[in-house]
Amino acid sequence: MIRVLFYLIIILAGALLSPLIVGNKGYVYISFLGWQLETSVIFAIVAMILFYGVLQLVEWVVVSVLNVVLTSRYLPQRWRRKAARKHTLVGALAMAEENWPTAERAMRKGAEQGEIPVLNYLAAARAAQYQLKTEERDEYLEKAAELPLAFEAVTAARTRYLLRSGDETAARTELDKLQPSAKSKTPLLKLARDVYQAQHDWAALRTILPALFKRQLIDEPQYQQLNNQACTALLQQAGAQDLAQLNACWASFSRQEKTQDALIAAYAEQLHLLEQHDEAIKLLSKPVKHDADDAVFNVIARIISADDSALLKLLQSIEVKCQNRIAYQRCMAQVYAQLREPQQQLAALQKLATQDPSANNYLALARVHEQLAQQQQAADAYRAAAQAL
């Protein structure tokens, strides 16, 4: 609407001014080096407009010719780059569809003249990994590593692929090149966690656990589980050497870790294996006085002997408090079995079978009934075990 109004104003202005212009044509006189030119003002204006138009046309032709001449030598390269972008797009779409052969082929072609070839090579390596083509995968990664600023990305990708292939040793070698630490980036920390767990390198895992928890890569229960698993494994490794190594390992734990029942139980069990039975029993007695973890009862069941009367009395004193705990009833059943007290073992097994009606518990109950010559009850227990399978 505004454009139409503008044109209308121009037409009206021309209609109003045209009589004035026709009646007053004006006069232009030009003299230069003996040349003389006389004409009207209107013709001079029209001539200048035409001259300017011809000049613009000549300029456009000259510039176009120069562009063709100067850029013709780069046309093949431009065509190749255009084709590379097309191959990269096809490869990206194929990866989204998980069409790995097509993705590998397209990404490989797109890398030759691509704008960011390292991305093409990494994508081709990923597609080759899914096809279990390890040689092609390694070839793509080598080509990507030759490009600038690609070392960390290529090394991390190679580490991840080696770990998925089950080659933990080679994956650890590649990971060490990146030198992961608590200050490393989040993806590297996650990768380090996976490699350390696969290799059972619990000492290295403990060094990055606080960083994993701080960056919310694991929640508090996961942190406690991994930390306890790592500390328990370290205690077992130290206990396999000698008592000095075991004590040194325990001393390296924090004060908070030394108060955790699961670690106390693991330390006590290793002490028992190193013929430090009395010290192990003394260590286990402390958490029993409170609300002990199931791990404590499991270790007690394995290492208690007939001479540990004080611990037995302590266990009997918490029977009412722990009567509904499966770990406690299993512990008492095993303790009475070692002490060769079948009546008390039978009572503990009956409570255990009630709380945990598994086939193994009913079989253990049936054997005690047979030991006590209670054939009918033994048959009932065997029947319950068969039904629980």
Q: Are 29 and 38 in contact (CB under 8 A)?
A: yes
- For the whole model, what pTM was predicted? 0.69
Q: Are 315 and 300 in contact (CB under 8 A)?
A: yes
- Higher model confidence: residue 1 or residue 352? 352
Q: Give the mean model confidence (pLDDT) for residues 207-236.
A: 90
Q: What is the pLDDT of residues 356-366, one digit of tens each?
A: 888 888 888 88
**How far apart, in whole angstroms, are the C-alpha atoms of residue 51 and residue 355?**
106
Tokens of 193: 């966690």
Which of 35-44, 55-64, 220-229, 253-262 has the lowest average pLDDT? Answer: 35-44
Q: Are 300 and 335 in contact (CB under 8 A)?
A: yes
**How far apart, in whole angstroms, are the C-alpha atoms of residue 163 and residue 186?**
18
Among 184, 238, 187, which residue's Cα sits nearest to residue 207? Answer: 184
Q: What is the pLDDT of residues 259-290, one digit of tens each?
A: 888 898 998 999 988 888 888 888 888 888 77
The domains of the chain are located at 2-75, 228-318, 340-389
Q: What are phi and psi of 32, to 5 degrees?
A: -150, 115
Residue 316 scores a pLDDT above 80: yes
Q: Are 108 and 131 in contact (CB under 8 A)?
A: no
Q: What's the pLDDT score for residue 381?
A: 81
Q: What's the pLDDT score for residue 25?
A: 59
- Sequence-distant (6+) residues with CB within 8 A of 161 are 125, 129, 137
